[in-house]
Amino acid sequence: MKQTLTDFQNHYRLLIDQTLFKLVKTLKTPKLLKDAMIYSLTAGGKRTRPMLTLAVLTSLNQKINEEILKMVSAVELIHTYSLIHDDLPAMDNDDFRRGKLTNHKVYGEGMAILAGDALLTLAFQVLTQNTSNEKLGFELVKLLAKVAGAIGMVGGQVLDIQGEGQRLPIEQMQKMHHLKTGALLFYAVESGLLIMQFLDQKQGKVINEQIKKHFLIYAESFGLAFQIRDDILDITKTTEELGKTAGKDIAMEKSTYPLLLGLTGAKDALIQEITKASEAIASVEKTQPIFNSKLLQQFVQTLKVEAT
Ligand code: GRG
């Protein structure tokens, strides 16, 4: 595989953007709602979650077609809804996200809530209407419902709210992050394995329990590393650099890795998770020559922060 992660991201970013835009643009729904949904969907997200699924599929030699692009985009609809709701005055109360005004600042609170609701439900509609293999559609819906809901991201958000103003024990903070941020990233990897198992008879067979275990260790450590990085950047970058209010975690008295471990401790924890993910994915390559770990290795390395 000659392709670098940057080439890969440049190529698929455009395709994911187009897929998401089309999914909403073609809805027969009031223009105002559509505008509010499209506003946040096209506000410059990095598309980390669908990109991660595509990297899993590509690492296993799966060709990407239009149907797969729709399937992998569903999680981005959920992610976008979660950010719109997270920014609301009743939650984190943010005016800016990705350098732009938050959804409720442009469309008002009511419309922002509804745009989030509509994106959330659209994700499941997309999976059921665009997956020709019905059993695969069902399995993806089942997994996405689990990671996005009360026992996943929403549950994590509740633990986050309950933890405000307290210094949580590290295990509790980790559990909260594992659900709030980790669950969708975990889905991004696991859904890639599911797609392989259902769509590619030959390659899908490669994914035995041992291989799956390594991928899921990668997914879990990727999720934790992603959050530790986010916590570090919140205190080391400016609002302009972040595109959202810096220092928000301290202002809202949230438990973060730098608060509990110190900045150096948080950076060490980040390196530990990146190494764990990297080793897990390297083990797949050792046992499965058909698998090329390059993209997934590069992907997790993008979570490093500069040492100071
Ligand atoms: C409202 C149910 C509900 C859940 C919200 C995801 C989430 C839960 C809150 C977001 C708060 C936050 C900043 C979490 C840290 C990790 C995170 C999800 C960062 C944003 O994800 P990126 O960097 O965003 O992938 P882009 O802008 O690239 O799409």
Q: Is residue 154 part of a domain?
A: yes
Pocket test for ligand 1, best of 222, 230, 234 (most atoms within 8 A of CB): 230
| Average pLDDT across the chain, whole number | 94
Residue 248 pLDDT level (bands cut at 50, 70, 90):
confident
Place 308 in a pLDDT band, splitting at 50, 70 and 90. low
Mean pLDDT of 268-287: 95
Ligand 1 atom with the shortest distance to the CA of 160: 8
pLDDT tens for each residue of 132-144:
999 999 999 999 9
Count CB neighbours of 63 within 10 A: 9
Q: How does pLDDT run across 82-106, given as a tens digit for each residue? A: 999 999 999 999 999 999 999 999 9
Dist. CA 161 → ligand 1 center (Å): 14
Q: Would residue 164 count as lying in a domain?
A: yes
Residue 255 lies in a domain: yes
* Ligand 1 site-directed mutation target among 86, 113, 255, most atoms within 8 Å of CB: 86
* Residue bearing the bigger pLDDT, 153 or 130: 153
- Looking at residues 19-41, what average pLDDT do you find? 97
- The CATH number of whichever domain residue 238 belongs to comes to 1.10.600.10
Question: Which pLDDT score, from 0 to 100, does residue 247 have?
Answer: 87
- Assess if residue 306 is contained within a domain: no
Domain presence at residue 308 = no
- Residue 48: CB within 6 Å of ligand 1? yes
- Percent share of the chain, pLDDT over 70: 99
**Of residues 91, 227, 228, 226, the one with CA closest to residue 164:** 91
Q: Indicate whether 229 belongs to any domain.
A: yes
User: What is the model's pLDDT at position 2?
Assistant: 56
Predicted pLDDT of residue 245: 84
- Cα(232)–Cα(71) distance, integer angstroms: 32
Domain ranges, residue 163: 5-301
35 within some domain: yes
How many angstroms is it from 82 CA to the middle of ligand 1? 7
What single-letter DSSP state applies at residue 149? Answer: S
Residue 26 clears pLDDT 80, i.e. is over it = yes
Rounded average pLDDT over 239-245: 87
Instruction: Give residues with Cβ within 8 angstroms of 279, minimum separation 6.
Output: none
Name the closest-CA residue to atom 5, ligand 1: 82
The answer as to whether 307 is a domain residue is no
What is the value of pTM for the model shown?
0.95
The arithmetic mean of pLDDT across residues 279-284, rounded, is: 94
Q: How confident is the model at residue 59 (pLDDT cuts 50, 70, 90)?
A: very high
Q: What is the DSSP-derived secondary structure letter of residue 182?
A: I
Between CA 128 and CA 138 the distance in angstroms is 7
Q: So what's the pLDDT on residue 131?
A: 87
Q: Count the domains in the chain.
A: 1
pLDDT at 243: 87
Mutate to test the pocket of ligand 1, among 180, 237, 254 (most ligand atoms within 8 A of CB): 180
CA distances (Å), origin 169, targets 31, 141, 208, 225, 256: 46, 33, 36, 18, 10
